[in-house]
């Protein structure tokens, strides 16, 4: 196993990488899929140095000493732990990234990708395969999603732009969920919120089963032909749009739910 202690701007190139683990506190993190040699570029680093290891199995780890995801919250204390770094690894490399308040961009991967944040923003760009994004209050934006996305948050927002998911499962307490989707025939979308608003935009010619329910939130739709229930303590919108091969369900307690219709092609 090789190990580096990085306390100043530096570039490191690695032998083949089979898996990537990265944990930082504040600053900016970019993890990019690349056909070139795996590499780390550290643009700046705070008072504490980063510890980089590359073991005999090809596992690359970038972190601070003794920093794990379970211990991220304990790092919310004064001090300069701000790092700016870019990692490039193969697109089929599994990625696990954790940040406290740093922003994180993860782009182009096709294997399993897991990103966790306390308050930092997460951007998933062109990521397919199995994707997991968990935050406390940080927002998550997914662009050109293809594959499976699981999202969990307390108050963080989720925005899905130009998504074509096989599976999309999102749950939040008070965060807003906004999704612009092209549902494939086998696509399944499940959205849950307590008080956060849910807005979904579907194509004009979508074919999906719909089940929307809320206890006290308002439900609105631009699609006709759906069955509506509007009673105190029970609101619902159910039915089939087109052939109904895909499925969309959205459930809230007090959050509003809106289904928007895209323009005809």
pLDDT at 58: 96
pLDDT at 233: 87
- DSSP characters over 85-121: EEEEE-TTS-EEEEESS-EEEEES--S-EEEEESSS-
pLDDT at 263: 77
pLDDT at 68: 57
Q: Which residues of the chain have pLDDT under 70?
A: 66-80, 265
Contact criterion met (CB below 8 Å) for 51 and 60:
no
pLDDT, tens digit (0-9, with 9 covering 90-100), for 56-85: 999 999 998 766 555 555 555 545 678 999
pLDDT at 80: 67
C-alpha distance from residue 52 to each of 24, 58, 79, 192 (Å): 12, 13, 21, 38
């Amino acid at each position: 196993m090789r190990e580096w202690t990085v306390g100043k701007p530096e570039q490191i190139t690695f032998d083949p990488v089979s898996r990537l683990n990265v944990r930082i506190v504040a600053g900016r993190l970019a993890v990019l899929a690349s056909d070139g040699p795996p590499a780390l570029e550290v643009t700046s680093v705070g008072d504490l140095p980063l510890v980089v290891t590359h073991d005999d199995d090809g596992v690359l780890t970038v972190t601070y000493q003794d920093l794990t995801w379970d211990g991220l919250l304990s790092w919310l204390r004064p001090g300069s732990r701000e790092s700016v770094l870019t990692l490039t690894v193969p697109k089929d490399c599994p990625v696990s990234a954790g940040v406290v308040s740093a922003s994180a961009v993860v782009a182009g991967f096709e294997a399993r990708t897991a990103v966790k944040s306390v308050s930092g923003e997460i951007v998933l760009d062109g990521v397919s395969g199995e994707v997991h994004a968990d935050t406390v209050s940080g927002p998550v934006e997914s662009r050109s999603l293809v594959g499976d996305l699981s999202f969990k948050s307390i108050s963080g927002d989720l925005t899905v732009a130009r998504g074509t998911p096989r599976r999309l499962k999102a749950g939040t307490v008070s965060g807003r969920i906004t999704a612009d989707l092209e549902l494939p025939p086998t696509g399944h979308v499940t959205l849950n919120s307590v008080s956060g608003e849910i807005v979904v935009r579907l194509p004009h010619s979508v074919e999906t089963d719909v089940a929307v329910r809320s206890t006290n939130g308002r439900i609105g739709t631009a699609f006709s032909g759906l069955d509506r229930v509007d009673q105190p303590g029970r609101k619902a919108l159910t039915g089939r749009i087109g052939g109904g091969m895909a499925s969309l369900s959205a459930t809230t307690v007090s959050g509003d739910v809106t289904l928007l219709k895209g323009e005809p092609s």
